[in-house]
Structure 1
Amino acid sequence: MLGKINGEYCELTSTIEENSEIEAVNITDKLGSKTFIRTLQFILIKSVFDLFPEAQITIEHSLSKGLFGEIHKNTPLTEEDIQKIKIRMNETIQKNIQIKKVSMDRKKAIEIFSTYRMEDKVRLLNHVNTATVKLYELDGRYDYFYGSMAYSTGIINVFDLKYYEPGFLLKYPIETDPFNIPKSAVYKKLSKIFRETEQWGNILGVGDVGSLNDKVEDNEIIDIIRVAEALHEKKIAYIADMISERKNVKIVLIAGPSSSGKTTFARRLGIQLRVNGLIPIPISLDDYFVDREHTPKDENGEYDFESIYALDLELFNKNLEQLLNYEEIEIPSFNFKTGSREWTNQKIKLPSNGVLIIEGIHGLNEMLTSVIPKENKFKIYISALTQLNVDNHNRIATTDVRIIRRIVRDYLSRGYGGEDTLKMWPSIKRGEEKNIFVFQENADVMFNSTLVYELCVLKQYALKELEKISDKSPVYYEALRLKSFLHFFKSVDVELVPDNSILREFIGGSCFYKY
């Protein structure tokens, strides 16, 4: 897939000019896996254009351990079309065609993409401040990718392509199981929220980084910010209306992965609930941790604070039942320094028009509130599910947006460097896979917290931290990858961000809390 020369990643077309230590990199390596996927995408794109020269293909977002995309052509896409494309891909793979890396004058590249009718790439390259750009060429077809590519098509040994209305699902092996395609699952609610986000992008007139940069350059970004924030507020109000209409709902559970903006969302939802005549009463799950010595441990013998069994489920459910019976109760307070529960005479009572707001990673897991009838609960899944891509063939992973958010927040409010955050991220991600994503379809509604303009703001903070990471760091190449796509964005003044924006949870200046 790739190689390492004296510990540095390189494509297999690289020249070795002196005695060096050489190491092969395959799909079990994170960078090798990304290269595999990127190469597979190029083969797919080439195959589509071979069969449907007038079509346009977009790689949109991850879904069901694969990539969802659409093919726009004169007639609707069919399952038969997908089978033809899959056959063509296999033919291209069997021919083992070399993929060439070409350095080209930027203006020449723009001319090529203009003839391809790829206005997204034209817009992107118009904002690139270099005289030359690196393109990849496969059997006479050029494309622009940010990231490494395999030497030839024959490196792809396993994949699948399926029809997934209204587009396709491209499947590939994962790092931990390089010879098998992971099973697909149906994510109807997640697919729906992606479609909603695509509609938001259409409303804003922003579908890729090039079009966003055009808005910045034309001084139209303030309108984009206002409309993007208004779309958030409208959706939050809609969710509040849903809750209000369900008269039996007394508990609202909010869950989502790290850096989704759960805290700000909960505050803004509380305001909209008040507009509807309801009184939100927040409860912190952190206060229901068991004492440290009773905390379960993971396979490495470390305390697993993300386990649902790190919470006192019995006491939590008992307190919920009492509150739903309109009893006044004393809730615990957890002392993180001593690792033990304390009682500080903190009492609460649910008024007749009250709603409990509970935010935490286990909110969608039925075990958390097992004794509470389902009709009394309303579950919300929140995440930053970006639909904005670099261009039609280079997507921005939703995880990347959350990583950037986390880097900025950790640096500005917690004193952690970007390197620390990147080192922690694999552990955070494992916890999300185990405790959050498996329950996301249990939600009554999903909220997408991404803002189309946010990377233009986060860029200035994130790059400062990423630039500090040395080439000796184990997360250097991840930092390099993040920097490479952040450089595509034009900067936007932080002062343009409203003080109630979810983005303020990460850059500071929020009206809901101090920093």
Structure 2
Amino acid sequence: MIDMKTLLELAKEEQLKTKDTIILAKVDGKLSELNNWAIEDQNVEFITTATVLGNEAYRRSVLFMMLYAIHRIAPDIPGKDVNVQYSLSKGLFCEIKNDACAVNQEFIDKVKQIMCETVAKDVPIIKHVMHTDEAVKVFRKFGMSDKERLFRYRRGSNVNVYELEGFMDYYYGYMAPSTGMLSVFDIFLYEDGFALQMPVPSSPEEVPQFRPQKKLFGVLKESSEWDDILDLDTVGALNDAIAGGRMKEIMLVQEALQEQKIAEIARKIASDRSKKFIMIAGPSSSGKTTFSHRLSIQLKACGLKPHPIAVDNYFVEREQTPLNEDGSYNFEDIHAIDIELFNRQMTELLEGKQVEIPTFNFKLGKKEYKGDIRQLGPDDILVIEGIHCLNDELTQHIPNDSKFKIYISALTSLNIDEHNRISTTDARLIRRMVRDARTRGASAQHTLNMWQSVRRGEEQNIFPFQEQADVMFNSSLVYELSILKPFAEPILFAIDNDQPEYQEAKRLLKFLEYFLAYGTEDIPNNSLLREFVGGGCFDI
């Protein structure tokens, strides 16, 4: 007789030897929830909340528990009125768009109380595999009309629906087996909604301090207002627009809104002629290069003469580059930049002197001088791009009143449905894979392999400084994932199932299934998206 145990039984045995909470497993390399069975000779690897995969499952499960608590308090409010909007301060910002429910401290306290009671009871999170038609009936029962809309376009016949004491919902991704392991969370009132704060992989047993990010929140709210103008806030609505032939109009309006914002930034810069250094920073695949070109055009329209400067040309000589713990070069460390030379040349430019700007030869690992002479006149302005541009250590000798700082990122405001948001990180990753494959011949496997290292660099060098920006610009386009889908799917399918990146590739392929695909022919040639799919008017 074959010896079988649930993965949860095995996990309880393993938990005695493991510090961090076990929440998922891999069985013969395939990701699995703990309520599944394992056969004796299968290879089982446990996933804890200290990993990215485990943390995502934890956060998803806590969110489900919070929505269950809200349903307990206000059962007559349709699920579509409880909206998970966007990431904020290591958590999720949520709103209840229904006047029948007042979101105040009393309400928050009730939600937290029910959640704590649910944790104490260790209630099972039950997974139901339903036919799509049956699942749609469940969504209709709980007033989740965005999910009804989403699953109109689903090709698969079955849907995983999760239940918590009669409350049911759909989630994109795996869940915890029960609520007993979900004790680390907090909820804070913020603006016209509330933030669900949850742990991160590096500190899985701690709730991070809630630090409101007012500028980031402001640009996210603005993006939501743009979505309202376009009548697009979920993937189902986007798919309806594609099926209904509205995409060309949506593209033109979205691009016009972005151009309007870039022009507004340019006018703000031009209104203060003391600003000589436009410092642009943002994470990978945020569209910094195209943005800097488009901003330069708007600055010219305002009577200024912009000159691009890439901070990467100021790398120190290769032998002076800081090293990682494993002895490899750390090009993302701020001290990989020749800060002294950069400040001296920028100061000389501010004083009206002629300066020869270096060009960094990446093959030889050294700076070269090729006659790139710059001098600033009354209308000249430098547009400087680099990951450290918001960090004052880079520009320590340049007067603050001569700098104008811009933070750019692809801050996705489109959600899968009411309760499943699209990760900004996933959207940037898909952009990066498509661009790397097109411009560098790099495989999706290569991009996925290096992505966590890229993310660590962003956490250290970019995100801590984003609130210091004078303005923020959201480069995300509400339609972009439908465009990127036909480019991303083939390169993801190319990853073999015996490769370490296979599970992540499989997850992204499942995510892209939500979207109807759309061609590139209607994208304007100056669009930020052209930086990734090609065919743009800028030499990128």
Match runs of 1:2-401 below 5 Å: 2-17=24-39, 19-55=41-77, 56-73=81-98, 74-401=100-427
**In structure 2, what is the Cα distance between the partners aligned to 1:115 and 1:178?**
35
| Match status 1:442 vs 2:468 | yes
Separation in 2, partners of 1:425, 1:232? 27
Q: What is the RMSD of the two structures over their aligned residues, measured on CA atoms?
A: 1.3
Unaligned runs of 5+ in 1: none
Deviates more, 1:493-502 or 1:449-458: 493-502
- Kindly indicate whether the alpha-carbon contact (under 8 Å) linking 1:158 and 1:181 is maintained by their aligned counterparts in 2: yes
For 1:130 and 1:293, the matched residues in 2 are separated by 55
Q: Which amino acid aligns with 2:175?
A: M
Structure 1 range deviating more: 7-16 or 32-41 = 7-16
CA distance in 1, matches of 2:51, 2:274: 50
Shift of 1:150: 1.3
Count residues with an aligned counterpart: 514
Equivalent residue number for residue 18 of structure 2: none
Give the C-alpha shift of residue 335 in structure 1: 1.1
Q: How far did residue 447 of structure 1 move?
A: 0.1
Q: Report % sequence identity.
A: 46
Deviations 1:78-113 (A, max 9, x none): 011011000011111212111111121212221221
- Whether the 8 Å CA contact 2:390–2:465 is kept in 1: the answer is yes
Q: Give ranges in structure 2 of 5+ residues lacking alignment.
A: 1-22
**Residue 513 (structure 1) shift:** 1.2
Give the aligned residue type for 2:29: G
Distance 1:75 1:125 in 2: 28
Q: Contact 1:326 / 1:352 at 8 angstroms: preserved in 2? A: no
Q: Which residue of 1 aligns with 2:9?
A: none
Q: Distance in 1 between matches of 2:144 and 2:120?
A: 28
Q: Using the alignment, how far apart are the partners of 1:112 and 1:413 within structure 2?
A: 45
Maintained 8 Å contact 2:119/2:180: yes
- What's the CA shift for 1:15? 2.5
CA contact (8 A) 1:190 1:446 kept: yes
Find the residue that maps to 1:314 and give its secondary structure: helix
Deviating more after overlay: 292-301 vs 414-423: 292-301
For residues 505 and 155 of structure 2, the distance between their equivalents in structure 1, rounded to whole angstroms, comes to 21
Deviation (angstroms), 1:379: 0.4
Could you give the per-residue CA deviations for residues 404-429 of structure 1, whole angstroms, max 9, x where no partner exists? 00000000111100010011001101
Residue type of the alignment partner of 1:47: A
* Greater alpha carbon shift after TM alignment, 174-183 vs 222-231: 174-183
What TM-score comes out, normalization by structure 1 length? Answer: 0.97
> Which residue of the other structure, out of 432, 447, 451, is the alignment partner of 1:421?
447
- From 463, 467, 471, the equivalent of 2:497 is 471
Whether the aligned pair in 2 keeps the contact of 1:281 and 1:350 (CA below 8 Å) is no
Q: Distance in 2 between matches of 1:371 and 1:226?
A: 43
What CA distance in whole angstroms lies between the structure 2 residues aligned with 1:165 and 1:481? 34
Paired residue type of 1:325: E
Alpha-carbon separation, structure 2, partners of 1:354 and 1:169 = 44
TM-score (norm. length: structure 2): 0.93
Question: Aligned to 2:506, what secondary structure does the other structure show?
Answer: helix
The whole-number CA distance in structure 2 between the counterparts of 1:417 and 1:308 is 28
Counterpart for residue 435 of structure 2: 409
Q: State the secondary structure of the residue aligned to 2:262.
A: helix
1:75 Cα deviation from its structure 2 partner: 4.0
What do the CA deviations read for 1:200-259 (whole angstroms, capped 9, x no partner)? 110110000000000000000111100010011000000001001112111101000000
- State the shift of 1:17 in Å: 4.5
